């Protein structure tokens, strides 16, 4: 049954009430037409519960807007949803992503994540490339997708599934060739959606692989007193020392002077089913957003707080590997390498928590896995083994 507006209805009952289901819920394709966003295709999902989110087809099939009953939960920068033709990842020393970075979700990879770096060409089979630039969060980020399809399908006449599917390709002559097949689903009458990714190395040579999901939340969910919940057993790395860090990891502060930000990497504990669950909750407005994933797929949690005035964001970032350059990770045997034809599968679930009972239930489940750490960060920015 589909739970819509206080009633549980099946397919026949809904048909009797609606000539077009899109009046209550559905998926709609449109194109942005003005400014630097011109030409970007957008899929708008509405589940009928107050959950609305958009998928930017031409920006990696990533989720852009995330709203709950009119409240914007997804974070936005001043760049807007810039068209892919305007995005140059190698600009400004490999930090060109910062000119295009906005929205709830940014998929980083597929062979590099985190800071820009330069390295020997490695898998690049061409003597014309003496040195390879790995830009901030990789070249897969914000690559335009091929839209495979979208729609609303009934399952057993009792469950209406809203979906879209697309394909993102990162490829270069003589080098890497990744294909990411993404399917996003939301069931009508719920406040939850899932992202299912299947990444394949289509090159004929082994290629290093990294993946990081940058899931970004902003005001009004992020506000003074909002709490970040995660089953953390240890914080193994921080970008700032204890002496320099004044923000606190768990209880959030209001907007701070420019430059107030920090990044940390945490060890996390999975529940009995093997899933890691995290959340940003705001008791004042009685809502939160929970993000969960299988730990076997993404064993580490990176945590970004940029509480600077004018930016003001918190990022929940499941990631394949610890902090470190590709060379450092290769030395310790932690750099994953995909063989030709090898596949990796990744799954995320995002859910809006509505009301004190939902917030309490989520916090109880997270605390059952591991106690929350104190506000004290690591003493240094070095990685512990």
Helix (H) or strand (E) holding 357: helix 356-369
- My answer on whether omega of the bond before 356 falls inside 30° of 0, hence cis, is no
Q: Which of 263, 264, 218 is nearest to 102 (CA)?
A: 218
Contact 330, 167 (CB under 8 A): no
DSSP for residue 382: P
Predicted confidence at residue 175, as pLDDT, reads 86
Evaluate whether 257 touches 308 at the Cβ level (below 8 Å).
Answer: yes
| Predicted pLDDT of residue 379 | 45
The predicted pLDDT at position 384 comes to 40
Report CA Rg, the chain: 21
Q: Map tokens 């999902």 to a residue.
A: 45
- pLDDT, tens only, 147-156: 999 999 999 8
pTM across the whole model? 0.94
Beta-bridged to residue 262, according to DSSP, are: 305
Question: Distance of CA 144 to CAs 72, 102, 166, 247, 333, Å?
Answer: 24, 15, 10, 36, 32
pLDDT score of 373: 61
The predicted structure's pLDDT at residue 223? 98
pLDDT at 126: 67
Burial of 1 (0-12, 13-18, 19+ CB in 10 A): middle
Separation CA 351–CA 119 (nearest Å): 39
Could you give the CA distance from residue 353 to residue 98 in angstroms, rounded to a whole number? 30
The domains located in the chain, with CATH, are 2-369 (2.70.98.10)
Residues in a beta bridge with 347: 196
Distance CA 185, CA 198 (A): 15
Cβ proximity of 246 and 311 under 8 Å: no
| Sequence-distant (≥ 6) Cβ neighbours of residue 235 within 8 angstroms | 249, 264, 265, 266, 267, 373, 377, 378
| List of the chain residues with pLDDT < 50 | 378-385
Sign of CA dihedral 4, 10, 11, 14: negative
Q: What is the pLDDT of residue 375?
A: 55
pLDDT of residue 338: 97
């Amino acid at each position: 049954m589909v739970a819509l507006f206080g009633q549980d209805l099946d397919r026949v009952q809904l048909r009797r009430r609606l000539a077009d289901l899109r009046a209550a819920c559905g998926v709609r394709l449109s194109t942005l037409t003005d400014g630097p966003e011109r030409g970007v295709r957008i899929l708008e999902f509405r589940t009928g519960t107050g959950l609305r989110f958009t998928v930017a087809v031409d920006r990696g099939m990533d989720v852009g807007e995330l709203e709950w009953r009119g409240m914007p939960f997804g974070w936005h920068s001043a760049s807007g949803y810039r068209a892919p033709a305007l995005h140059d990842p190698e600009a400004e020393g490999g930090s060109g992503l910062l000119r295009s970075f906005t929205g709830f979700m940014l998929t980083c990879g597929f062979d590099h994540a985190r800071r820009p770096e330069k390295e020997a060409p490695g898998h690049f089979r061409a003597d014309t490339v003496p040195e390879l630039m790995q830009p901030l969060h990789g070249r897969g980020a914000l690559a335009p997708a091929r839209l495979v399809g979208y729609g609303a399908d009934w399952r057993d006449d009792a469950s209406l599934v809203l979906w879209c599917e697309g394909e993102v390709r990162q490829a270069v002559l003589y080098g890497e060739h990744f294909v990411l097949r993404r399917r996003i689903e939301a069931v009508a009458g719920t406040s939850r959606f899932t992202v299912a990714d299947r990444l394949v190395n289509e090159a004929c040579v082994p290629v290093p692989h990294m993946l990081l999901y940058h899931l970004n939340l902003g005001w009004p969910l992020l506000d003074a007193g909002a709490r970040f919940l995660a089953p953390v057993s240890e914080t193994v790395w921080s970008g700032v020392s204890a002496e320099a860090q004044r923000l606190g990891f768990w209880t959030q502060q209001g907007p701070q002077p420019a430059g107030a930000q920090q990044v940390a990497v945490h060890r996390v504990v999975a529940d009995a089913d093997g899933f890691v669950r995290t959340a940003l909750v705001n008791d004042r407005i009685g809502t939160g957003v929970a993000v969960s994933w299988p730990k076997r797929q993404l064993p580490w949690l990176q945590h970004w707080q940029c509480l600077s005035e004018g930016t003001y964001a918190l990022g929940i970032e499941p990631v394949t590997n610890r902090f470190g350059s590709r060379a450092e990770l290769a030395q310790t045997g932690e750099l994953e390498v995909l063989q030709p034809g090898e596949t990796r599968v990744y799954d995320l679930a995002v859910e809006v928590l509505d009301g004190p009972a939902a917030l309490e239930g989520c916090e109880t489940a997270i605390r059952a896995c591991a106690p929350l750490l104190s506000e004290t960060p690591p003493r240094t920015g070095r990685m512990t083994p």
